[in-house]
Amino acid sequence: MLLLLKNKVSPLALSLIVLGLLLLLKLIGEVKAPYADIYGNSLLFYGVVSVFVNMGGRNKGGLFVGVLSFMVGVVLYVVNHFDIMSTNRMILPALFFVLAAGFLFLFLDDFSERTFLFISLFLILIGYLSSVLYDSLEWIRFSAESSKIILNQWEYLFIIIGLGVITDRRG
């Protein structure tokens, strides 16, 4: 089964099937979870499947997107399930840590690419500093507020990405 998954199935197609089933079950009333949980869990599922399929292969873009999807799913889970006093303080550091995780997985996929390790460590440092220095630097607060706006409108980002995938396949 796992070999079949690794060779034949598109992670995006499998994740969209799961998302469609969950949305259908929500529509008929069998699933009581909010939409944010359904989308977050779909991102988690896509990330796991995409990393499994692309790890050890030549598709570094698929691996990077899979890790980013998983980590964004984790951030959505944390935001939706934990009572955080000020989410705008965590968005910018979370963005840096999500990107750092993506580059770290690229390094773990190919140990000869040390550049990915250095980028990952740099992003971890920037994420840490942005969380520690949040109140002292104005540009960090501005970036955090901008990130919060993007996070509140993330559903529209899926539509834009989907339209980009459709137009890319036609061209």
Band the pLDDT of 11: cuts 50, 70, 90.
Answer: confident
Average pLDDT in the 99-127 region? 89
Q: Is the pLDDT of residue 168 over 70?
A: no
**Is the Cα dihedral 58, 115, 150, 82 positive or negative?**
positive
- Which helix (H) or strand (E) segment is 58 a member of? none
Contacts of 49 (CB under 8 A, 6+ apart): 5, 9, 11, 14, 15, 66
- The kind and range of the H/E element at 113 are none
In whole numbers, what is the pLDDT of the chain averaged over residues? 80
User: 9-13, 73-77, 140-144: lowest mean pLDDT where?
Assistant: 140-144
pLDDT in tens, 25-81: 888 888 888 888 888 888 999 999 888 888 887 888 888 889 999 998 888 888 888
Q: Does the structure show a pLDDT above 90 at 121? A: yes
The residue ranking higher by pLDDT, 110 or 90, is: 110
Question: What does pTM read for this prediction?
Answer: 0.71
